[in-house]
Amino acid sequence: MGALLDERELGSWKGFLRIHQRVVARLDAELIERHDLPLTSYEVLMQLADAPDGRMRMSAIADGLLLSRSGLTRLVDRLERSGLVERAPCPDDARGTLAVLTAEGRGRIEAARPDHLAGVRRHFLSQLDASEQEELAELWRRIGAELDESASARRSAEPSGVL
């Protein structure tokens, strides 16, 4: 068993987890109250709104949101029933499926986006001055780069399945 976290380490880690949970919960509640749109649905619609032609492979959306494939399927089912997205076959992969933003979905995301961004500023960014925001952004980039490197190294070390 590894060494326990000291007080400074524990404060950093638990603080990150606690604040992330609270900010996400508040943003989710605001989107539901104002737009009847949970944060996870907002994130799917935003990815589609930012994608070329408003379409993306379901697997790419799941990777971007850190959802399981089955979790994304259930979420897209709900969005499809609400008329916000449609499914389409992937033209370059018969096994793949695209999620496609509908006009109604685009309207919902355009209405929700200003409120959501105002909430991000109100609940998180306004607590930091510009230099702190820059410093935090750099820390996230550094941590993300290390995680990307270690994931890449793990994939490289895995057997390729070729004999």
* pLDDT value for 64: 83
**Alpha-carbon gap, residue 111 to 107, rounded angstroms:** 6
At 63-86, the pLDDT tens digits run 888 778 888 899 999 999 999 999
Q: Answer positive or negative: Cα dihedral of 47, 110, 53, 145.
A: negative
**Alpha-carbon gap, residue 115 to 111, rounded angstroms:** 8
- Please give the backbone phi and psi of residue 31, each rounded to the nearest 5 degrees, phi first: -65, -40
* pLDDT value for 95: 82
User: What's the whole-number mean pLDDT along residues 122-151?
Assistant: 93
Choose among 87, 94, 32: nearest CA to 54: 87
Residue of 129 and 65 predicted with greater confidence:
129
51 burial level (CB within 10 Å; 0-12, 13-18, 19+): middle
* pLDDT value for 1: 65
Classify the phi-psi angles of 54: left when phi > 0, otherwise alpha if psi is within -120 to 50, otherwise beta.
left
